[in-house]
Amino acid sequence: MAIGYLTIQARTAQDALPVSGAQIRVFDSQGNSLYVLMTDENGESQTIPLETVDKSFSQNPYYSGIPYTSYNVLAKAAGFNSLYISDIPIFEGETAILPINLIPMLESQRSPLQAEISVGKPAVAMDTMRHQEGTVAEPYILRQVVIPNPITVHLGPPGSSASNVQVSFPDYVKNVASSEIYPTWPEAALRANIYAIITFALNRVYTEW
């Protein structure tokens, strides 16, 4: 069985402050508890090894299965609401860094609440290709190419009532790349996809879609 790695970073105040002493439980997909960890003064857990699938499957275009193994994490800390994150993909030879943002309990709360987040499959692992829906406005061409920082991301189809969020441009590229492709692909393939992500985003900004 191949081995991948996982480390957890617990933060609060919109990632501004580390949460030390947070209890981190790691489960397999069957709900079996594998590790109980504690975050250090930097809000980080130790890096743990986890069994996964051989990375050669992720590089085989004819392989129809899932070329990684998913795990779940439950984070608890005194004075904070709990957070359960499921379907965390672990790839052979790669260290997955899981950022966790813990929300402080309200003074009126008697006990912590538990929020749940599912990481989900990368786009390349989905049975159907994602496509854009909704009405697209006519572009307006800017005078020069600009790199937005932060970049505004609409969390839904164009014209929908979904929320807009702002993230730094490097974080946007990292988030899209991790949601689209496998980290076990050859470096040339990773670079090509990341360049495509950057080019597409800057084109959308340049033409002001």
Considering 98, 120, 142, which residue would you say is the last residue of a domain? 120
Cα–Cα distance, 24 to 15 (Å, whole number)? 17
Instruction: Give the range of the structural domain holding residue 168, as residue numbers without chain letter.
Output: 122-209
Considering 93, 120, 147, which residue would you say is the last residue of a domain? 120
Give residue-wise pLDDT tens across range 110-121: 899 999 999 877
Report pTM: 0.78
> Does one domain contain both 158 and 187?
yes
CATH assignment at residue 51: 2.60.40.10
> Does one domain contain both 102 and 127?
no
Q: How far is C-alpha 184 from the geometric centre of its chain's CA atoms?
A: 16
> Does one domain contain both 195 and 127?
yes
Q: Is 107 exposed, middle or buried (0-12, 13-18, 19+ CB in 10 A)?
A: exposed
Considering 63, 95, 120, which residue would you say is the last residue of a domain? 120
> Does one domain contain both 9 and 108?
yes
Give residue-wise pLDDT tens across range 63-103: 888 999 999 999 999 999 999 999 999 999 999 999 999 99
> Does one domain contain both 33 and 59?
yes
Contact 86, 116 (CB under 8 A): yes
